[in-house]
Amino acid sequence: DFVMTQSPDSLAVSLGERATINCNSSQSVLYSSNDKNYLAWYQQKPGQPPKLLIYWASTRQSGVPDRFSGSGSGTDFALTISSLQAEDVAVYYCQQYYSTPRTFGQGTKLEIK
């Protein structure tokens, strides 16, 4: 199985500051035939289901604010929030869809400092 490891486990950032969450995959999720990284990011607020933020490692889902961006390739990825807003407090998960079984990171809890 692909093991997805996120860092840090928790993060406290001041309002308006940048937040960066990292995700490492135990194997590459870059599909050579189409040069796409099969990686997604989700946001989960308390009491709610996960919500898709980013797919193909860097493509924002429709309606997601442009302060959210994804980067990386192969095995190392990052989710960046350029200017943290109060409504961004949540747990963030990365997930690979390169291989079955689909696997998720352990989650990173983002809080306001």
Partner 1 sequence: QVQLQESGPGLVKPSETLSLTCIVSGGSVNSDSHYWSWIRQPPGKRLEWIGYIYGSGSTYYNPSLKSRVTMSVDTSKNQLSLRLSSVTAADTAVYYCVRGACNLSCYQHYHFDVWGRGTLVTVSS
Q: Which is nearer to partner 1, 44 or 80 (CB)?
A: 44
Is 5 a binder of partner 1 (CB under 8 A)?
no
Cα–Cα distance, 100 to 68 (Å, whole number): 27
DSSP state of 17: S
Instruction: Count how many residues are written for the chain.
Output: 113
Binding track over 40-79 against partner 1, x by CB under 8 A: x-x-----xxxxx--xx----x------------------
The three-class DSSP label of residue 94 is strand
Is 11 a binder of partner 1 (CB under 8 A)?
no
Interface ranges with partner 1 (CB under 8 A): 38, 40, 42, 48-52, 55-56, 61, 93, 95, 97, 100-107
